[in-house]
Amino acid sequence: MGSSSETESESRGFQNPDWETEFNRFEDSISSGSASIRVRSIIKLSDLATRVPESYILRAIPILAGLLRVSDDPNRSVQAAAAHCLKRIACHGGEDGGFAVTMGRCGAIASLLGLLLEANTNNNGDVFRGIWVKCLWSLVTFGSSIRVGLARLGGLEIVIRELNNWEDDGSRWYLLEILSALTTIRESRRVLVHSGGLKFLVEAAKVGNLASRERSCHAIGLIGVTRRARRMLVEAGVITALVDLYRDGDNKAKLLAGNALGIISAQTEYIRPVTEAGSIPLYVELLSGQDPLGKDIAEDVFCILAVAEGNAVLIAEQLVRILREGDNEAKLAASDVLWDLAGYRHSVSVIRESGAIPLLIELLRDGSLEFRERISGAISQLSYNENDREAFSDSGMIPILIEWLADESEELRDNAAEALINFSEDQEHYARVHEAISHPVFQSMQSRLARIRASHELMVRSIRRVTLEHLVRDPDRL
């Protein structure tokens, strides 16, 4: 690892090195050699990094980290060589990050941040700036445990400043990945919001390796829960970035992007741009997929997007397609969404006109108990609407509901009874459900619903009374 004036000796060292001898030469050249000899020794170590035994690498790291702080090399060639060598060693250390963590303990992070600050005031700083950034990137990427230390040293603020100052620079990709790594820390996410750095987080979700983009996406989902942050993220182009990540990414990326996009759409003013970006087909894919978490995310987001009637129409069309062509799990998921949408006033007519009701009844005849239980919940909700009662009746649903009153499943019995009560209160259908009225399950549900309605009316009257009393006590509000 040390320098030698004899080429033959060097050649033998490369082929079959005596590591202890080589390390001693390396130490001698660093401690007493000129700048050029130091650089030569460091480059040799860098070339041999994948072959040098771990014990010698661990002994070399403190020496290399110390070289980042040398002050007797105005050209910064020794520091640049040391930073390059540390980067190679950190990358060679693998995902467990043992070498990178050792570098952090030796003060490499603080030294690199100092060199970056100096690079902005030095006329020759641009030459080495990329080397400092790449070395810092390797430490943060392969030594995840040292990210907290970097954040405490103001690393995120320095990265944001670098990104603001250098727009078209080869180091930008590395800076964005450093930023995404730091967003795994809660305090760093707060700094991003208050320092104008969210635009860089969105940029980080667009470029770099997939792991970095996924980290950025996860941070977007965590940060986007507040209205202020959502607005800033949308202004930075987050919707397009998330849709692109969903399309480019693996299953994990799809889940993260789908969840983050749903968080953005939770603010009603962003429902339209999220839809126009082509999000509905993405959530159809999640709902039809095999991942239970993906199905949950899709169901939640569909409930948000369906607030807009036009979206409810598009969603219902896709749900009908799943009911026709999907596997059993996808059909169950689609029925859950239909149940959720049944609570929306405008979605009731949308579901009816989509042709979903005849499909549901057809599937009920051969479906599993779980499927019948889920569908029965949607039917009980839809039966509150006059037009949907007519559609169910025309499709032969009433005899099935009466049959369910004797089913072993309590959930199925209750949902059937609730639907039949709604039919019985409609003069158009009373005669068809007359035989069910005397059934104990029907009567029990009728009493339960009466108590619920009475309790609701009492609560409404109480709220009105409290409000009036408050206004009487505070006449200025009248």
Each residue of 234-259: pLDDT tens digit? 999 999 999 999 999 999 999 999 99
What's CA 20's distance to the chain center, in Å?
Answer: 49
Give the Cβ contact number of residue 76 at 10 Å.
Answer: 23
Residue 293 has pLDDT above 90, yes or no: yes
Which stretch of 169-173, 225-229, 330-334 has the lowest confidence by average pLDDT?
Answer: 169-173
The mean of the pLDDT values for the chain is 86
Residue 465 — very low, low, confident or very high, per pLDDT cuts 50/70/90? very low
Q: Quick one: 220 exposed, middle or buried, by C-beta within 10 A (0-12, 13-18, 19+)? A: buried
Residue 72 has pLDDT above 70, yes or no: yes
Cα–Cα distance between 219 and 177 in angstroms, integer? 13
User: Average pLDDT in the 341-360 region?
Assistant: 76
Asked whether 90 and 103 are in contact (CB, 8 A), the reply is yes
Give the Cβ contact number of residue 285 at 10 Å.
Answer: 15
Q: Which residue has the higher pLDDT, 427 or 474?
A: 427
Cα–Cα distance between 153 and 110 in angstroms, integer? 7
Residue 420 has pLDDT above 90, yes or no: yes
Asked whether 118 and 162 are in contact (CB, 8 A), the reply is no
Residue 145 has pLDDT above 90, yes or no: no
Judged by DSSP in three states, 95 sits in coil
Residue 44 has pLDDT above 50, yes or no: yes
pLDDT at 377: 84
Residue 2 has pLDDT above 70, yes or no: no
Cα–Cα distance between 156 and 190 in angstroms, integer? 11
Q: What is the pLDDT of residues 196-233, one digit of tens each?
A: 999 999 999 999 899 999 999 999 999 999 999 999 99
pLDDT at 478: 32
What's CA 296's distance to the chain center, in Å?
Answer: 14
Residue 327 — very low, low, confident or very high, per pLDDT cuts 50/70/90? confident
Which stretch of 13-17, 41-45, 174-178, 469-473 has the lowest confidence by average pLDDT?
Answer: 469-473
Residue 16 — very low, low, confident or very high, per pLDDT cuts 50/70/90? low
Count of H-run helices and E-run strands, the chain: 30, 0
pLDDT at 424: 93
pTM of the model: 0.80
Q: How far apart, in Å, are the Cα atoms of 231 and each of 14, 227, 270, 279?
A: 58, 6, 9, 19
Asked whether 154 and 145 are in contact (CB, 8 A), the reply is no
C-alpha dihedral (101, 103, 109, 114), degrees to nearest 10: 180
Cα–Cα distance between 93 and 101 in angstroms, integer? 10
pLDDT at 457: 59
Q: Quick one: 443 exposed, middle or buried, by C-beta within 10 A (0-12, 13-18, 19+)? A: middle
Of the chain, the percentage scoring pLDDT greater than 90 comes to 57
